[in-house]
Amino acid sequence: MIREISSLLYRLPAASSPEFAEEFEGSWGGVLLASLFTEILKGTGDIHEVSQKVAVITESRRKRMGMAGRTRGRGMSQFGEPMGFDPFFTSSWNG
């Protein structure tokens, strides 16, 4: 059936013209670009969803460890924060 449709399209005078081929390729490029953007947006949404879940799990662990008042040998301070690294520390090491 696909072969019949293809042969029918090639019998049409407009389908075999160079103008049609050029316009079709331009439209096809637009469709591919829109598809690419859609996949990128879906991937970005998935990454955001996973990061939200990780944030919830991390926060619940911090609260649990802070309530326990001990580190359980995991390199955490008594407040549930990692020891030795502060990403918001802006002062230089030498003072």
Tell which phi-psi region holds residue 76, choosing left (phi > 0), alpha (psi between -120 and 50) or beta: beta
d(CA 71, CA 79): 9
pTM above 0.75, yes or no: no
Residue 79 neighbours by CB under 8 Å, 6+ apart: 66
**Domain ranges (residues) in the chain:** 27-68
Full pLDDT tens readout for the chain, 95 residues: 788 888 777 777 766 677 877 888 888 888 999 999 999 999 999 999 999 999 999 888 888 877 554 445 555 555 555 555 555 555 555 54
- Cα 56 versus chain centre, distance: 19
Positive or negative torsion for Cα 21, 27, 29, 35: negative
